[in-house]
Amino acid sequence: MANIFWFDLETTDNKTHRGGGIWQIAYIIEIDGQVKTRKEFKMKPFKNDLVNAQSLSVCGVTYEQIMQFESPSNVLKQILSDITPYKKLIMGGFNNAIFDNPFFMSWWYKASNEMKINDSMLNYFYFDALDVRTIALNKLIEERKNMEYFQQKDVARKLGIQVDESKLHDALYDVELCINIYNKTK
């Protein structure tokens, strides 16, 4: 069995290279098939993070709202508290290899610098990505040409998983949906 840090992010922009940040993170820590931790945090972006109103509107939040959330440093402290008991974790998510992992790495670097700690993510996570989107593609390879988009909700529906549209783009719901897809495709 594996030690997996299933996670999803909601971001302030859809491009990390433009300076987008994170305003919500949710994760489920699964150790040898057993859920050990299920958490979500809403946090304000860093001072220099790009905040795109359109990205926020997808999730139904405003700049004023996210600026009231807790500090990224407090969130990192809580994440460290949750992951420290485990030797190393695999980072799992939907499309995390090219989207969530780079955002999370950038956020981790900024938060640890703000806290003045020199603690690399590689002390806690393997560099690999358990990308459920890629796994689902292998399962749905013949049907992919008929799917205009290959978003998580579309993949879930194609696999017979019910999707609650009103909960999409809530990080914890998206993590749970990702795990359901993984369990249907592995």
Residue 57, class by beta-carbon neighbours within 10 Å (0-12 exposed, 13-18 middle, 19+ buried)? exposed
Q: Check residue 14 and give its pLDDT.
A: 86
- For residue 105, give Cα distances in angstroms to 31, 53, 121, 148: 22, 23, 7, 30
Name the residue range of residue 45's domain. 3-185
pTM of the model: 0.94
- For residue 84, give Cα distances in angstroms to 22, 47, 119, 155: 22, 28, 12, 33
Q: What percent of the chain has pLDDT over 90?
A: 89
Checking if the pLDDT of 64 tops 90, the result is: yes
- For residue range 76-115, list pLDDT tens digits in order: 999 999 999 998 999 999 999 999 999 999 999 999 999 9
Q: Is 74 helix (H, G, I), strand (E, B) or coil?
A: helix
Q: Check residue 127 and give its pLDDT.
A: 86
Q: Report the distance separating Cα 98 and Cα 67, nearest Å.
A: 27
Q: How many domains are there within the chain?
A: 1
CATH of the domain at 67: 3.30.420.10
Average pLDDT, the chain: 94
Could you tell me the two tokens for 122?
Answer: 């590689």
Higher-pLDDT residue of 105, 16: 105
Residue 81: which residues within 8 A CB-CB, separation 6 or more?
Answer: none
Checking if the pLDDT of 17 tops 80, the result is: no
How many other β-carbons are positioned within 10 Å of the β-carbon of residue 49? 22
